[in-house]
Amino acid sequence: SQKIEQNSEALNIQEGKTATLTCNYTNYSPAYLQWYRQDPGRGPVFLLLIRENEKEKRKERLKVTFDTTLKQSLFHITASQPADSATYLCANGGSQGNLIFGKGTKLSVKP
Amino acid sequence: DTGVSQNPRHKITKRGQNVTFRCDPISEHNRLYWYRQTLGQGPEFLTYFQNEAQLEKSRLLSDRFSAERPKGSFSTLEIQRTEQGDSAMYLCASSLVSAQAREQYFGPGTRLTVT
């Protein structure tokens, strides 16, 4: 079955550094991957979508890569700020358009 | 506010009671999804509608769960004879189906606690 894995449950970094989060997928080749941000007690918020034929996508301080050879997507936040602290979810579209999510990585940016 | 709204935000109920949650999607979105999320996990798909038709149900959706979307607008999710294992955050999301649009817009969720 399709599986999305975010191996790091938590990531702690210093303000100003680049945060790099990893998402791996197994048993299939997704046409696209999505990244969401979720704050405590709130629903996920869409950040970026990258398609299989795109190597990289950027939005302000965010960058996502998609490596179909490694079956992996990397999510980068450059010049991180304490306000970036949240849980970041990787997701892939299921057969019916529903999203299949990883467990998420909780990012803490210390001032 | 034109985002997805969910009511109530919190619900505490006793085991065996029935509960109903409501979701109002973004008005022009034709797809509506329900997810369940427990602590430390990502959201898990339950069911989805395209307009008023319920097109897919996850194996997670036992026969105690039922969802409706009359007239293709708001949706309700009912849980009958609640169990403690039903305690979770129930999330609703909506999207506009197109060749390019794939992102989903989530509501704030309904936190259910079954005592």
Between chains, do B31 and A46 touch, taking CB under 8 Å as contact?
no
Q: What is the mean pLDDT of residues A36-40?
A: 96
Q: Give the count of beta carbons closer than 10 Å to the beta carbon of residue A44.
A: 29
Is the predicted pLDDT of residue B99 greater than 60, yes or no? Answer: no
3-state secondary structure (DSSP) of residue B17: coil
pLDDT (tens digit, 9 = 90+) per residue, A45-96?
Answer: 999 999 888 989 999 999 999 998 899 999 999 999 999 999 999 998 776 6
Q: Facing residues of B47 across strands?
A: B34, B57
Q: Give the count of beta carbons closer than 10 Å to the beta carbon of residue A95.
A: 8
Is the predicted pLDDT of residue B81 greater than 60, yes or no? Answer: yes
For chain A, the first-to-last Cα distance in angstroms comes to: 41
Residue B1 is predicted with a pLDDT of 55
Between chains, do B43 and A45 touch, taking CB under 8 Å as contact?
no
pLDDT top residue among B1 and B11: B11
Residue B42 is predicted with a pLDDT of 95
Residues of B in contact with A46 (CB under 8 A): 103-105
Residues of A in contact with B44 (CB under 8 A): 101
pLDDT (tens digit, 9 = 90+) per residue, B5-21?
Answer: 999 999 999 999 999 99
